């Protein structure tokens, strides 16, 4: 073969999108119960239905052999999974361009150093409020101080990037947009503001009433800081902006108001091994059955993944009318 010839990626879908990013959920469990993500009484998967860390590692290796360059671990809360560092060590050695994790930060003060040492490059930390009482209400039981300590610990060990994620809900935390901006400016972190998605049946609020568009959030910020579009392209759903006098980038993830499906480069694997081709559709392929049927041969897994990419839908159809469009919760989708 000509040494300059690069074979086409086997992971290009029917719409010409190349999948080079995989989100792996390592658990559906969590120590918090954020009101937009979970119901108060959740039933979690029986342990035997959850992939072992070794099985998740096999999936990661196969995706990387198929050209995937970026992996994010998520959940549920990844840091509640015992022995997670073993998996991070395995994935950290696969030569990825980017290896990240999304966490609620409650246990980061213990784990930040070992995560970095095991090969994790970047962190997203979810933080929706800087008011302890409001934080507790939104997370149902969370302690804001623990998360703030976790953020400090992560900063101290020197990750390549730390970004905060905030889901903004009207009447709940839309009055905190500027406080969050001031925090990231002071700590020199990035932030993404997220529109709430209609995943899972929740009873705490009506999503139609709390819907707050990214344009509304942007307007709040622009009353104080002009936002200029940042050139940075992540191939992801965030649209990024910069402020003239700060290193922090401000992103908006806007599944309702700015559909990003045409650039979608990602798939997800749930904690029970379902390969989801789109967050907003129910299509999935059961990778766990293949992993367990062929415990020592990755070829069938590889073929199943290549075939599955054919099923990737063109787009999601989320609406803001308050109806649930997808029954599975974000925590079981691998957010």
Nearest to residue 29, comparing CAs of 71, 83, 78?
Answer: 78
What's the DSSP call for residue 158? T
Q: Are strands 284-286 and 274-276 parallel, antiparallel or unpaired?
A: antiparallel
Q: Is 33 in the site for ligand SF4 (CB under 6 A)?
A: yes
Angle between helices 144-157 and 132-139 (to 10 degrees): 100
Binding-site size, ligand SF4 (CB under 6 A): 12
Under the binding rule (CB under 6 A), the answer on residue 77 touching ligand SF4 is yes
Site membership for ligand SF4, residue 38 (CB under 6 A): yes
DSSP state of 272: T
Rounded least distance, CB 285 to ligand SF4, Å: 23
Considering only 61, 70, 76, 312, the residue that binds ligand SF4 (CB under 6 A) is 76
Partner interacting with residue 74 (select from ligand SF4, ligand SAM, none; CB below 5-8 Å by kind): ligand SAM
Write out the binding residues for ligand SF4, residues 121-150 only, by CB under 6 A.
126
Residue (of 269, 256, 263) closest to 305 by Cα position: 269
| Cβ-based nearer residue to ligand SAM, 134 or 302 | 134
Residue showing tokens 């290009």:
12
Within residues 78-117, the interface with ligand SF4 by CB under 6 A covers: 104
Minimal distance in Å, beta carbon 187 to ligand SAM? 17
Q: Binding of ligand SF4 at residue 25 (CB under 6 A)? A: no
| Site residues (vs ligand SAM, CB under 6 A) | 30, 36-37, 74-75, 77, 102-104, 126, 165, 167, 194, 196-197, 199, 330-331, 335
**Nearest-approach distance from CB 31 to ligand SAM, in angstroms:** 9
User: How far is the C-alpha of 138 from the C-alpha of 33, rounded, in Å?
Assistant: 8
Q: Which residue is nearest to ligand SAM (CB)?
A: 335
**Given the complex with ligand SF4, which of 30 and 118 has the nearer CB atom?**
30
Distances (CA, A) of 106 to 16, 103, 112, 247, 313: 39, 8, 11, 26, 35
Distance of CA 63 to the CA centre of its chain: 17
- Which one of ligand SF4, ligand SAM, none interacts with residue 53, CB within 5 to 8 A by kind? none
Contact 288, 272 (CB under 8 A): yes
């Amino acid at each position: 073969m000509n040494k300059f010839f690069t074979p086409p990626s086997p992971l290009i879908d029917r719409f010409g999108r190349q999948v080079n990013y995989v989100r792996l959920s390592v658990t559906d469990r969590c120590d918090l119960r954020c009101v937009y993500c979970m119901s108060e009484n959740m039933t979690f998967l029986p342990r035997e239905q959850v992939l072992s860390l070794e099985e998740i590692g096999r999936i990661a290796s196969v995706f990387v052999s198929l050209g995937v360059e970026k992996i994010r671990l998520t959940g549920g809360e990844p840091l509640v999974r015992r022995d997670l560092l073993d998996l991070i060590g395995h994935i950290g050695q696969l030569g990825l361009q980017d290896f990240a994790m999304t966490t609620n930060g409650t246990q980061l003060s213990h784990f930040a150093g070992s995560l970095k040492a095991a090969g994790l490059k970047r962190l997203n930390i979810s933080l929706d409020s800087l008011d302890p009482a409001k934080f507790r209400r939104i997370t149902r039981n969370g302690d804001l101080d623990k998360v703030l300590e976790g953020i400090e610990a992560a900063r101290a060990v020197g990750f390549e990037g730390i970004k905060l994620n905030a889901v903004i809900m009207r009447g709940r935390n839309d009055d905190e947009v500027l406080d969050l901006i001031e925090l990231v400016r002071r700590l020199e972190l990035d932030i993404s503001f997220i529109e709430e998605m209609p995943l899972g049946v929740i009873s705490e609020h009506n999503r139609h009433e709390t819907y707050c568009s990214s344009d509304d959030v942007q307007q709040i910020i622009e009353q104080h800081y002009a936002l200029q579009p940042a050139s940075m392209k992540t191939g992801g759903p965030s649209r990024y902006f910069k402020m003239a006098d700060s290193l922090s980038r401000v992103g908006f993830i806007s599944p309702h108001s700015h559909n990003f499906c045409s650039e979608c480069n990602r798939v997800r694997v749930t904690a029970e091994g379902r390969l989801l081709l789109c967050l907003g559709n129910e299509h999935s392929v059961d990778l766990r059955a293949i992993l367990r049927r062929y415990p020592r041969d990755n070829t069938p897994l590889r073929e199943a993944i290549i075939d599955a990419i054919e099923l990737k839908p063109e787009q999601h159809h989320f609406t803001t009318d308050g109806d649930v469009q997808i029954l599975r919760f974000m925590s079981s989708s691998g957010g």
